[in-house]
């Protein structure tokens, strides 16, 4: 990163800062604390309007209603026992893989001893 050129403004800023920080404070620490405490006491406590609470309740009800309505309806499916999933007898080089309960995947491979034939 390139450092910006110093055209004398940094030195000028440092001088002004040193003069300002050397000045004595206008108030003693006790007086400053008393001023802050009095300003805190003077500030009125603003209550939240009741419509904020009502709006929050409406938003919460809308979210709960949306989740309840959009929840996917799941109908229970009867899973077939393994004996019912039995399929045709597999021949040489055939493989059956069940992807899920209703989807069989049949794959046929060439046996290594059959490669030379043909």
Query: What is the DSSP secondary structure assignment for residue 87, as one 8-state letter?
Result: -
Does the pLDDT at position 34 exceed 70? yes
Give the span between the Cα atoms of 79 and 101, in whole angstroms. 7
Has residue 75 been placed in a domain?
Answer: no
Q: Following DSSP, what letter does each residue of 98-110 receive, concatenated?
A: EEETTEEEEEE--
Has residue 28 been placed in a domain?
Answer: yes
Has residue 39 been placed in a domain?
Answer: yes
pLDDT of residue 74: 67
pLDDT of residue 33: 93
Has residue 37 been placed in a domain?
Answer: yes
Under the banding of pLDDT at 50, 70 and 90, the label for residue 65 is confident
The dihedral through the CA atoms of 59, 63, 65, 66 has a sign that is positive
Give the span between the Cα atoms of 78 and 57, in whole angstroms. 41
Give the span between the Cα atoms of 114 and 101, in whole angstroms. 33
HSE (side-chain half, CA atoms, 13 Å) at 11: 4
Range of the domain at 62: 9-70
Under the banding of pLDDT at 50, 70 and 90, the label for residue 63 is confident
Has residue 106 been placed in a domain?
Answer: no
Query: What is the DSSP secondary structure assignment for residue 85, as one 8-state letter?
Result: T
pLDDT of residue 9: 80
Has residue 98 been placed in a domain?
Answer: no
The verdict on pTM exceeding 0.75 is no
| Mean residue pLDDT across the chain | 78
Q: What is the enclosing helix (H) or strand (E) of 118?
A: none
Number of domains in the chain: 1
Has residue 94 been placed in a domain?
Answer: no
Has residue 105 been placed in a domain?
Answer: no
pLDDT in tens, 84-117: 555 677 877 788 888 888 888 888 887 667 665 6
């Amino acid at each position: 990163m390139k450092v910006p050129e110093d055209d004398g403004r940094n030195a000028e800023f440092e001088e002004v800062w040193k003069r300002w920080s050397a000045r004595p404070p206008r108030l003693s620490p006790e007086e400053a604390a008393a001023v802050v405490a009095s300003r805190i006491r003077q500030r009125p406590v603003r209550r939240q309007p009741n419509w904020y609470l009502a709006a929050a309740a409406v938003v919460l009800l809308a979210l709960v209603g949306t989740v309840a309505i959009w929840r996917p309806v799941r109908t229970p499916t009867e899973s077939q026992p393994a004996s019912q999933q039995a399929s045709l007898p597999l021949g040489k080089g055939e493989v059956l893989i069940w992807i899920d309960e209703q989807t069989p995947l049949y794959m046929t491979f060439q046996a290594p001893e059959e490669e030379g034939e043909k």
